[in-house]
Amino acid sequence: MNNHAVGWDPAPDMQGRFGYGSFERTIDTLATWLKDRRFIAGDKFTAVDVYVASLLGFGMRFNVIPKRPEFEAYVEPLLARPARRRVEEQTQKLLAQKASAAT
C-alpha cells in the first residue's frame, strides 16, 4: 500500500522479487479471499482481522485502496463491533481532554 500510495509499483519483470508481486495482484487476491467470508482465518475473529480490517479501512478512507464490495462487506461489521466502538469512545474522550487542557 505504501509503495503504491507514493506512485511506485514494481515493473512486471521485477514483481517476482517482491513478496507481494504487485499492488493490483495483492488487492485482487485479497478481494477473492474475502468474498463471502466473515473472517480471514476460519470462523473466528482473530488478531489478523484487527490488522487487515484496520489496513483496509484506512486505505479505503484515504483512497489508497479501492472501495470494493468485498472489502466494505468485510470491514463494516468489524468496525461495528462493541469493543471497537468502546475504543473509539475512549479515544474521543482523551482527545477532548487533551484539547481542553491545551486551552
Residue 19's pLDDT is what? 81
Model-level pTM? 0.79
C-alpha cell belonging to residue 87:
475504543
pLDDT band per the 50, 70, 90 thresholds, residue 35: very high
pLDDT at 92 over 90: yes
Average pLDDT, stretch 69-93? 93
Q: In angstroms, rounded to a whole number, what is the distance separating the alpha carbons of residues 99 and 101?
A: 5
One-letter amino acid at 25 equals: R
Between 86 and 12, where is the model more confident?
Answer: 86
The per-residue pLDDT for 71 is 97
Count how many Cα atoms sit within 13 Å of the Cα of residue 58 in the half-sphere of its side chain: 9
* Residue 48 neighbours by CB under 8 Å, 6+ apart: 40, 41
**What pLDDT shows up at residue 102?**
85
With 80 as the cut, is the pLDDT of residue 103 above it?
Answer: no
